[in-house]
Structure formats: structure tokens, C-alpha cells
Amino acid sequence: MASKNAFEIQVMREGRWSTESFIDAEDTAIAAAKRYLMDKKCEGARVIRNWARADGRMIEKEIFSETRTVKDDGPVRIVQVDAAPAKCEAPEDYFGLQSRSLMNRLFRNYLEKTYVTPTELIHNYKELKRIQDKDSLVPSAVDRIAFLQTREGDQDSKARRDEIFKSIDQMSARARRAEALKLPKLNGSFKDMVDRVSTLDSEDDADYLAMVVLSRDLGDVRNWVGKLDRLCKLCMDETDGHALEMLDGVIADVLGANVVQEILGWQPSLAMAIVRMLDLADGTFPVENSEAAETVEMLNALLKAGKLPASRLCLIDRAHRQLKSANALYRSDASKEKEGFDTVLGRVVTPTGLLFGAETADALTTRITRMVEEGGAAGRRSAIMTTFNAMPDRAYGLMYLCDLIKTDYAKEHVADIVAMLDRVYEARALSGLCLRTLSAKDRMMRATNAHRAVMASAFPPAIRTKLAEHIDSVLEKYLIDEQIVEKLDHHDSPLRDRAVRLVQFCAAGVLPEGKAMTRARQRILALLRGANFDARFVDGITDPAKAQKALRDFHQLLVRAGFGG
């Protein structure tokens, strides 16, 4: 509703004027209208002054207007995709996150022209009808998905295409039915609006109607940052988990658009942009260079608090797809491509392995296939070797292979992946398996993490057993050569200190179950079986209550170290 003296900013797209906002100051409103005109897709912008007369009548006067002809870029085509999610068996399945994510990619060229999210597309009848009438977009998309979902020969492509078209017709009928409903505005919290629509007499459920309301609300915002800002503000004030889940899905829709470039701001390279996308997914993105700093601060906070899991996955998927793309990591300097790869690698390596497991291993290897000289199978084989060698040490290299064996690379290159394990077997000492510069504890922990990765891998059981036994032997040899257990159990120390140090060592998770752990436990058992252990353990503690507490704490530590209840 306009104030007594407000300036209404209207923008024309596809021949239609729509109100973008109300601003109190005339010069600020005109400047805002001119900013809209900087968008080459904007056909016009104008500012209407609204004021109330003394008799209560509203007066409007146009104080600024500029229109222009926007050149038609020709037919809009789908973006080719090479994979599709599992078949949607019912119309309701098409509203899911995976399906909307695919729509986002297929219709990217169209959605960037219209600033419409997949959620708006399938909940707003006008938008759904508009894309159905646009060139051959929908039939082309259906053909592509039907082909991808039937290429294994489990169904005829034409039959699958007919199924998809039938579901689209049902979705259209549902959206058209909702179009005729008088629904509430989204003026308060999202949860309050959901509660209001749940009381309506309609054959559609409250979640669907709530998304219709949200789509109408977002339809008035014709830029990505504006939509993201609106959604983030709704999330910041929302406490209901289900309402947050619904809003999260729509934010993921927006993050699938090119708004990510505005969010990240200027970055020196694609490599750094990928790193920043992963930072944003963790909620640790530095907002200083962002072109939408205030909005991104809210997004950062929501992601860091774990309130937007779908949006986080969207950012991670986008980072992986950019890493796998043919785009140079350093476009301005081809000689820095390896440096760019190392930048990304440094971000995705964590103490327990690659940041997102198999997906990250696949993306890293695919990037290397674009950097090696060979092509085809030889290039992929070389990429596996090069990626392994790029890891900080052989323990990380093993964790990489444990992830890679779960990807499509294993379909053709399982023998090449297994052959790389020889590099691991060559490491007969811990210094050959892990970086020498690490502390003793960190080296043992890294080897143990590699052991865990092996046991959770898709390698055949015989290979898993052989790898696990090799790592265990390396760790046992390290305990013996460095006299780790003997140093912890130094005879000059009081019995209580020796026992606690040994048990803490076993409970620290620095050793896997096996020979190395058994060696450490045997030393502890020898102490426990000594004469009058309890009395000797509390020797020097004169307060009986404190002595009993010391014993209780020690026995709890024994349980954590695997000595039973």
C-alpha cells in the first residue's frame, strides 16, 4: 500500500508492467529505476508518484519513464544434460528437490531470461503455461529425459515420454485449479501462512497451497538477489522445522541460477570461486567482496546453523560440476592450472579424507583428465595416477582410492585403481605412509583414518583385509621402533600416571583394532594384573572420597578404551 507520498517503481518485461518496490525519496526512486534499465532484458522502467489528497483520493503522476525494444535472442533451447534422476512415478514426485534441480539445469537459458525458479514454474499456472508455449522447450526436455531414463533398455522411450507428458498435464490442471483460489498474502511468517491455507476448503494439501502463495509472492521480484533476500528473511524469522525445509528447497532453486556469481563477487580464478562456494556451503564465506553482502550474511548464518541442508547440497553439487567442467581453473594464465588444482585440493582435503567422499574424488579426477596429455582410457588411467600423486601423502592417496572405487571410474578402471595400491604397500614404515613433518600422534591418526576408509570401501573383501593388515603392521612397527608404549609406561613415573597415560592412548582413536592396539592393551593388562593395583593406583591420595572418584574415573576410561563394561 502506498504511503501519503510514495514513489512506485515499475518495470516492464515481456510487455507487462509490474511493481518492484515503493521508495519514499524521489531521487532514490529514479536512481533505482535506472539501475533496472542496466539489465539488457529490461524493456522499460518508470517511477509513479502517489500521494493522498485531503479528501482521501489517491493521485498518481508519472515522473520518470523510459522504454526500449529488447532484441529477441532467437529460440530458447534446453541445456543438454547427460544424466537424469530416478523416474518420477507420480505427479507429486516432480515437486521433489531432485526433479526441480534437473528442471533448473534443463531450462537454465529460459529461467535466466524470466527470473523464474522451478518452484514458481510448477506452482504458478501462468508461468507453467508460458514455458509450455515457448518454442519447443518442454517437448525437447521430455524427449531428453525419456531417452536418459530408458537407455538401459528397461522401457520404451516413447512410453516413458507419454508418462511424463501425462504427469505434466496433471500438474497443469492442479496449478490451474489453484490459480482460481483466493489465497492469503504472505505478510507474516511462512508458518503462519501455512496454517492459514490449511483451513481452506480445497482438495489440495496445505504444503502445495503454501508454495502457490510463495510463488505468487516471488513472482513480483524479477531478480535473483531480490528473491534470495526475500527467502532468507523468511528463514531468519522462522522457527518451524517443516516451514524451514520448504523454504530451503526454494533457496536451493535460486542458488541453481547464476546468482552465485553475484554472491561470490569478483574472484581471481575459477579455482578460488570453487573454494568460496564450498566456504559458503559451510557458512564461512567472507562477504566483503560480495555484490549482495547483506543478503549473503543472512545466507551464511543460515547455512552455518545447519538450517539449509538442501541449499548446502546445491552449492556442493555446483562446486563439483564446476571442478569437472572444461573451464580453465586459471583463465588468464594457463601455466597456473596446476596451481589452481592445488588450491582446490587444499580445500577439500580433511583429516578423515576428501571433503565429500566419492563425489569429490570423481570431480578431482575428471579435472585432471583435462590436464594430462593422453585422452580416452589412457588419459583416465593417467589421471588416476596423477591425482593419487597430488595427495599430501600415501595415506591420503589410499583414502582417495577408497572413494574413487565407489564412482563410475571403477566401471572401466577398477584394475588401474587396484594397481595403484602397490604404492601403499611400498610404504613399509609410517614415515613412508604419512608426512614426516607430522607429530607422532597425527601420523598414527592419519594412518588409522586410512584404515577406517579401507574398511568402509567398496574394495573386495580380500583386498580390504590385505590393506588393513598392512596398515596395522606399519603402525605396530612404529610402536616398536619408537618405543611409544615404553615411553608412556616409563618406570620412573607413578603407577597412576603410567596407567592413565596408557589407557588414554588406547582411547584416543589413534590406533585401529589389530596388532598395534593389542600391543598397547597388553601393557595395560600387565599393570592391571599387578598385585594390589587399586591400592597402588590411589597411593598418595589421602582423601577416601577423592581416591574412590579417581578409581571410578579410571574405570570409565578403561571402558572407553575398549576394556569392557
Q: What is the 3-state secondary structure (H, E, C) of 315-384?
A: HHHHHHHHHHCCCCCCCCCHHHHHHHHHHHHHHHEECCEECCCHHHHHHHHHHHHCCCCCCHHHHHHHHH
Statement: residue 327 has pLDDT above 90: yes
Statement: residue 493 has pLDDT above 90: no
Contacts of 141 (CB under 8 A, 6+ apart): 78, 103, 106, 107
DSSP, collapsed to helix, strand or coil, labels residue 229 as: helix
List, for residues 422-457, the tens digit of each pLDDT value. 999 999 999 999 999 999 999 999 999 999 999 999
Q: What is the mean pLDDT of residues 53-73?
A: 74
Residue 20 has a pLDDT of 84
Residues 51 and 90 in one domain: no
| Exposure class string for 15-28: b at 16+ Cβ within 10 A, else e | eeeeebeebeeeee
Statement: residue 269 has pLDDT above 90: yes
Domains of the chain: total: 4
Statement: residue 319 has pLDDT above 90: yes
Statement: residue 1 has pLDDT above 50: no
User: What does the alpha-carbon distance between residue 250 and residue 219 come to, in Å, rounded to a whole number?
Assistant: 13
For residue 270, is it within any domain?
A: no
CA atoms 121, 122, 126, 128: torsion sign: positive
Distances (CA, A) of 554 to 139, 461, 485, 557: 70, 37, 18, 5
List, for residues 25-62, the tens digit of each pLDDT value. 889 889 888 888 887 778 888 998 888 777 767 777 88
Statement: residue 94 has pLDDT above 80: yes
Statement: residue 317 has pLDDT above 50: yes
Residues 403 and 445 in one domain: yes
Residues 500 and 432 in one domain: no
DSSP, collapsed to helix, strand or coil, labels residue 476 as: helix
Residues 295 and 430 in one domain: yes
Residue 152 has a pLDDT of 81
Residue 564 has a pLDDT of 66
Last residue of a domain, one of 32, 67, 102: 67
Last residue of a domain, one of 196, 221, 246: 221
DSSP, collapsed to helix, strand or coil, labels residue 271 as: helix
The residue with greater pLDDT, 5 or 93, is: 93
For residue 162, is it within any domain?
A: yes
Residue 74 has a pLDDT of 67
- The secondary structure of residue 485, as a DSSP letter, is H
For residue 303, is it within any domain?
A: yes
Residues 89 and 60 in one domain: no
User: What does the alpha-carbon distance between residue 64 and residue 74 come to, in Å, rounded to a whole number?
Assistant: 31
User: What does the alpha-carbon distance between residue 234 and residue 237 come to, in Å, rounded to a whole number?
Assistant: 6
Q: How confident is the model at residue 3 (pLDDT cuts 50, 70, 90)?
A: very low
Residues 45 and 30 in one domain: yes
Q: What is the pTM of this model?
A: 0.81
Residues 353 and 214 in one domain: no
- Segments forming the whole domain that contains residue 161: 79-221
Residues 336 and 211 in one domain: no
List, for residues 217-232, the tens digit of each pLDDT value. 998 888 899 999 999 9
Q: How confident is the model at residue 70 (pLDDT cuts 50, 70, 90)?
A: low
Residue 66 has a pLDDT of 86
Contacts of 41 (CB under 8 A, 6+ apart): 13, 70, 113
For residue 169, is it within any domain?
A: yes
CA 154 to chain centre: 32
Q: What is the mean pLDDT of residues 141-148?
A: 94
List, for residues 183-199, the tens digit of each pLDDT value. 999 989 999 999 999 99
Residue 39 has a pLDDT of 79
For the residues of 74-134, what is the DSSP string, one character each?
----PPP-S---S---SGGGGGSHHHHHHHHHHTHHHHHHHT--HHHHHH-HHHHHHHHHS
For residue 310, is it within any domain?
A: yes
For residue 534, is it within any domain?
A: yes
Q: What is the mean pLDDT of residues 510-526?
A: 92
Residues 421 and 465 in one domain: yes
For residue 278, is it within any domain?
A: no
Top mean-pLDDT range of 74-78, 291-295, 393-397: 393-397
The residue with greater pLDDT, 391 or 291, is: 391
User: What does the alpha-carbon distance between residue 79 and residue 258 come to, in Å, rounded to a whole number?
Assistant: 14
Residues 422 and 529 in one domain: no
Mean pLDDT score of the chain, rounded to an integer? 91
DSSP, collapsed to helix, strand or coil, labels residue 528 as: helix
Distances (CA, A) of 130 to 42, 135, 214, 253: 18, 10, 19, 19
Contact 486, 425 (CB under 8 A): no
Residues 307 and 425 in one domain: yes
Residues 470 and 325 in one domain: yes
**Residue 506, CB half-sphere, CA atoms under 13 Å: how many?**
30
Length of the chain: 565
Last residue of a domain, one of 20, 35, 67: 67
For residue 167, is it within any domain?
A: yes
